[in-house]
Amino acid sequence: MKIFVISPKNKTVFNFRGDLIKDMISKGNEVFVVGPNRDFIDDIMELGVSQFIEVPLVKDNTNIFGDIDYFKRLKKLFKERKPDMVFGYTIKPVIYGSLAAKAAKVPNIYSMVTGLGRVYAAKGFKTKIIRFITKILYKNAFRACAKVIFQNRDDIKELVQENYLPLEKCVQVDGSGVNMERFYKSELPEEPVFLMVSRIIKEKGVLEYCEAARKVKKEVKEARFILLGGFDSSIGALKKEDIQSFIDDGSIEFPGEVKDPVSFYHKCSVFVLPSYYREGLPRTILEAMSCGRAIITTDWPGCREAVTNGENGFLVEPKNVENLAQKIEVLAQNKETLVKMAENSYNLCKEKYEVSVVNGAMRNTLGY
CB half-sphere exposure, 282, CA atoms < 13 A: 29
Residue 136: its pLDDT value, please? 97
Residue 119 burial (CB count, 10 A): 16
Q: Read off the pLDDT of each residue in 8-34 and give the average, rounded to a whole number.
A: 96
Query: pLDDT grade, residue 128 (50/70/90)?
Result: confident
What's the first-to-final CA gap in the chain, in angstroms? 7
Phi, psi of 22 (to 5 degrees): -60, -40
Residue 215 has pLDDT above 80, yes or no: yes
Whole-number pLDDT of residue 61: 64
More confident residue, 205 or 122: 205
pLDDT at 117: 86
Mean pLDDT of all residues in 66-70: 94
Q: Coil, strand, or helix at residue 319? A: coil
**Per-residue model confidence (pLDDT) at position 205:** 97
Flag whether pLDDT at 234 surpasses 80: no
Distance CA 270, CA 276 (A): 19
Cα 44 to chain centroid distance, Å, stands at: 18
The answer, as to whether pTM is greater than 0.85, is: yes
- Over residues 77-93, mean pLDDT: 97
Percentage with pLDDT > 70 across the chain: 99
pLDDT at 198 over 70: yes
Look up residue 4 and give its DSSP letter.
E
User: Distance from CA of residue 274 to its chain's centroid?
Assistant: 14
Residue 301: pLDDT above 80?
A: yes
Q: Pairing relation of β-strands 108-113 and 85-89?
A: parallel
Collapsed DSSP state (helix, strand, coil) of residue 25: helix
Give 96-123 pLDDT, tens digit per residue: 999 999 999 999 999 999 999 878 877 7
